[in-house]
Chains A and B, each alone.
Chain A
């Protein structure tokens, strides 16, 4: 993986890729590609959901802390999904707020996943409000070395196994989780496979 990256970088630097693709005679898909492409060149038209995400960010800044929101934006290709990056110190408060406040009521956890960005680990939570039919996405970053985040299992029971899975595969320790054990792999497994620097330990060889 990393070798490949090294090999590719000098040959095709980041920006010319678009030019290269456009320059080639290969037919460019009419609208689809065009929608994705301008993102790099000029800003997209403002999303209809922009006020929503701004409202969420404002609410969090007012109710919890001015520093709680690292950034707030709309994930346009993904059906205009309001996305908020939250600082982990404030994350549990934000989660409580979004679950319990009656005009937000994000009572359904659609997805809970963890990502290793090599510089840091991140968990991504997609929530849904059954009453309002709204989606929101939260991202929380944590350090790779001391990967700790508060647990959500008290708010959404669905988080229980998901956090165990993330712990198992990415090694994020969820503080306050009632049963922080590996989900899939054996207890004596070494390492967390979904980390990018994971090297399988093979005692047999």
Chain B
């Protein structure tokens, strides 16, 4: 054996594939990782602390900035938690709009994941294809709520804006287009031999690991555990739609990829059903008191964000501001598993595995 010396490599917080400002302190032997220590907090803005001094409506824009790739689900979880505690009834139209935007946001988020994941394994082109399609979703969101990324669209009791004229048709056309387009992605990517070599059998998450680390989203579903809150703890009007939860078998990167790809198709199917069953009239806001005073109590609700279980835990003391609000941020939970997955891998796999976990640093750091 050659005598080798370990070297400490500081990946990030500025590095092309650290997805923002993650820092990994890696001890490598050649290219093999011996030890790894993720360092987070470079994007910690103290959302939970800030929220204690804000009333419930004012919190919503702050949640946009947590997981900035799926702000709609973030908006929803804080509204949903508040509504659950207040026992509010939400008009059907608002619920449908919420489902449509959340599912579209899921597709937008997965598209971005797909692009960057392939960038991480070295393929340049799919990134731009994904962005072309994501762009369409963002434009539609822009039309709906005037923002492309930080939507601030939902309110406690409903949604802020009704769909503009013709918007739903656009959404439906897009859903058809997207289902077709995902087939094109499969043709472009799924059969590529190098892609298969880079993903098959790599970064295997076992069922035990997934449970122990409380993974969620595609990270747990790729192992075969059926854990989708839209089915398991249905919220909003998800129980009215017919959709499948794609599951993997082996828990490797390829399974995770297929889970996310199929999830996009299912999301688009939900969107189509929602547009078809969209209630004609009705309000977009329920009857909500002008000053939101949430009754004293405590609530935890989880919703299925693109990255996994996004939860909101509110402790209310009957004021217009939460006593304590805590977000269960899926990326934060999912990132923990990286430490276990990455030891023994090489740098190329590190980048691929980290990319597959699909973290958003705004969410990890809170």
Hey, which bits of chain A sit against chain B, CB under 8 A?
1, 17, 21, 26-27, 29-37, 39-40, 75, 77-79, 81, 107-111, 113-116, 124, 126, 130, 133, 137, 156-158, 160-162, 165, 169, 182-186, 193-194
Closest to A8 in B: B319
User: Could you tell me the distance in whole angstroms from the C-beta of B317 to the nearest C-beta in chain A?
Assistant: 9
Q: How far is the CB of A164 from the nearest CB of chain B, in Å? A: 10
Cβ contact of B211, chosen from A81, A107, A184, cutoff 8 A: A107
Whether A160 touches B214, Cβ cut-off 8 Å, given contacts A130-B225, A183-B41, is: no
Q: List 8 A-B contacts (CB under 8 A).
A: A29-B88, A29-B89, A33-B87, A110-B309, A113-B328, A115-B315, A157-B337, A158-B336
A54 CB, min distance to chain B CBs, angstroms:
20
Q: Mark B215-232, 1 if CB is under 8 A from A, else 0.
A: 000000000010100001
B238 within 8 A of A: no
- A160→B335 CA distance, assembly (Å): 12
CB-contact partner of B300 in A31, A33, A35, A81, under 8 A: A81
Shortest distance in angstroms between B172's beta carbon and chain A's nearest beta carbon?
32
The residue of chain B having its C-beta at the shortest distance from the C-beta of A127 within the complex is B214
Contact B48 A110 (CB under 8 A): no
Can you name 15 extra interface pairs (CB under 8 A) apart from A77-B87, A169-B49? A1-B53, A26-B290, A39-B297, A75-B298, A107-B211, A108-B227, A110-B309, A110-B328, A111-B311, A111-B313, A113-B326, A156-B213, A158-B214, A158-B336, A161-B335
- A199 to chain B minimum Cβ distance, whole angstroms, is 12
A117 to chain B, nearest CB (A): 8
Q: Are B88 and A32 in contact (CB under 8 A)?
A: yes
Report A-chain residues with C-beta under 8 Å of the C-beta of B290.
Answer: 26
- Distance from A3 Cβ to chain B, minimum over Cβ atoms (Å): 12
For residue B299, which residues in chain A have a CB less than 8 angstroms away from its CB?
75, 77-78
A156 touches B89 (CB 8 A): no
Tell whether B324 is near chain A: CB-to-CB under 8 Å. Answer: yes
B164 CB within 8 Å of chain A: no
> Within 8 Å of chain A (Cβ to Cβ): is B262?
no
Residues A36 and B86 in contact, CB atoms below 8 Å apart:
yes
Is B365 part of the contact surface with A, judged by Cβ < 8 Å? yes
Query: In the bound complex, how far is the Cα of B85 from the Cα of A39, in angstroms?
Result: 12
Q: Assess the A124–B214 pair: CB atoms within 8 A.
A: no
Which residue among B41, B232, B335, B365 has the maximum number of chain A CB atoms within 10 Å of its CB?
A: B41
**Are A110's CB and B232's CB within 8 A?**
no
Closest to A5 in B: B319
Which among A27, A31, A111 is the interface contact of B87 at CB below 8 angstroms? A31
Chain A residue at minimal CB-CB distance from B325: A113
Q: Are B298 and A124 in contact (CB under 8 A)?
A: yes
Residue of B nearest to A35 (CB): B87
- CA A116 to CA B53, docked complex, whole Å: 15
> Assuming A32-B89, A130-B227, is B301 touching A160 (CB within 8 A)?
no
By beta carbon, the residue of chain A nearest B334 is A158
A30–B300 CB distance below 8 A: no
CB distance from A109 to the nearest CB of B (A): 5
The reply to whether the CB of B126 lies closer than 8 angstroms to some CB of chain A is: no
Q: Indicate if B287 sits at the interface (CB-CB under 8 A).
A: yes
Contacts of B288 in A (CB 8 A): 29
Central interface residue in B84, B287, B365, by most chain A CB within 10 Å: B287
Residue of A nearest to B294 (CB): A36
A27: chain B residues within 8 A (beta carbon): 287
Report Cα–Cα, A108/B212, bound state, in Å.
Answer: 7
Interface flags, B136-153, vs A, CB<8A=1, else 0: 000000000000000000
Which partner residue on chain A sits nearest B210 by CB separation?
Answer: A108
Say whether A78 contacts B289, CB under 8 Å. Answer: no
Could you say which residues of chain A place their CB within 8 Å of the CB of B344?
none
Proximity bits, B297-318, A CB within 8 Å = 1, else 0: 1111110000001010101001
**Cα-based distance from A29 to B75 in the complex (angstroms):** 22
**A81 proximity list for chain B (CB < 8 A):** 300
Known interface pairs A158-B333, A184-B366; A31-B44 also in contact (CB < 8 Å): no
Contact, CB under 8 Å: A194 / B214: no
With an 8 A cutoff between CB atoms, is B131 at the interface?
A: no
- Of B225, B287, B300, most buried by chain A (CB within 10 Å of CB) is B300
- Given A79-B84, A126-B300, verify A185-B214 contact (CB < 8 Å): no
